[in-house]
Amino acid sequence: MPWCPKCKTEYEDHIAQCVDCNIDLVPDLENHTYMRDLIAVKPDDSEELLRYLTYSGIEKVETVQVEDNLVIKVGEKEYESAMTYVKVYIREHMEETKEDDFYFDEYEAETVDVKGKVSEMKSTVYTFGIVGILAIILGLLNYMEVIKIGGFNKIMISSVLVIMGGIFTYIAVHTRKGIDVAKAEGETKEQLHHQLVANYFNTKSEEGLFGLSGIKEEDFDDPAMYFAIIDKIKVQVKNQNPDAPPALINGACETIYDQINENRESK
């Protein structure tokens, strides 16, 4: 009797594919390993990660090209261990390269920096506005032959300068209109971020982290425990703020992690 290697359902002999999982059935489960998707990475990043998984003792690893990414698959029985090793690898990679590339949507965090965002938008307004106005003036002066830009048709170069200046000026005006909206949205997110962090510490959740969760203070010195600690923090933050956006929750968890670590090191 054939079996589905994924859901472990037994079928009649005449059936070739699992109706729930849409995968081919196998004669028995003992001699077949169901390969589960572990992570999709860029091909350039895959070789080192594959070596790391093999070095860590993951016995069965396969890769499948899916569009521009390489999907790494591991045996179902080794999935949890492999996922832990991948998280450790990515954490160490982040520390070495200073890149915040997790590969996991579940850990994608939104950075709240209202002043930085507004400052960047103001810089765009000033730069594009000045360049745009100067280009328009230069185009008009060239057309009126107050100044002459040699080597080009007067009408053509004047038109190009005025059009280019108009585009730059439009970008400046459009960006200026968006500053107040971006500031208001940013302040709302920043306020929520601070609220998420404050709620965690106000309810003495830090004590619970080192209590019932099984996390120890020395675990903060082990890169392998980073995601495990973040996961524990996230459970409490989500319970306290179930309607908060996931990216903001992740950002708050990173801040909480850093604050706990700073408090621990200052003791």
27 located within any domain: no
For residue 225, what are its two tokens? Answer: 């425990």
∠ CA 209-215-218 to the nearest 5 degrees?
120
CA–CA distance, 238 with 252 (Å, rounded to integer): 10
> What is the helix (H) or strand (E) element at residue 65, kind and residue range?
strand 61-66
Share of the chain above pLDDT 70, in %: 91
Side-chain half-sphere of 234: how many Cα atoms within 13 Å?
Answer: 18
Position 253, amino acid: C
| Judgement on whether residues 210 and 131 belong to the same structural domain of the protein | yes
| Judgement on whether residues 180 and 260 belong to the same structural domain of the protein | yes
In this predicted structure, what is the pLDDT of residue 136? 96
Ordered strands of the 69-75 beta sheet: 35-41, 69-75, 61-66
Share of the chain above pLDDT 90, in %: 23
Q: Could you list the residue range(s) of the whole structural domain that residue 221 is in? A: 114-266
| Judgement on whether residues 211 and 152 belong to the same structural domain of the protein | yes
In this predicted structure, what is the pLDDT of residue 81? 85
CB 215, CB 232: distance < 8 Å: yes
| Judgement on whether residues 239 and 262 belong to the same structural domain of the protein | yes
Among residues 74, 103, 132, the one where a domain terminates is: 103
In this predicted structure, what is the pLDDT of residue 162? 95
Q: Mean pLDDT throughout 233-246?
A: 89
Position 53, amino acid: L
For residue 215, what are its two tokens? Answer: 């996390």
CA–CA distance, 13 with 3 (Å, rounded to integer): 10
How much is the mean pLDDT over the chain?
A: 84
CB 199, CB 241: distance < 8 Å: yes
In this predicted structure, what is the pLDDT of residue 100? 53
In this predicted structure, what is the pLDDT of residue 108? 74
In this predicted structure, what is the pLDDT of residue 6? 83
Higher-confidence position of 211 and 39: 39
Residue 106 pLDDT > 80: no
CA–CA distance, 194 with 186 (Å, rounded to integer): 12
CA–CA distance, 118 with 97 (Å, rounded to integer): 28
Q: pTM for the full model?
A: 0.56
Domain count, the chain: 2
Residue 102 pLDDT > 60: no
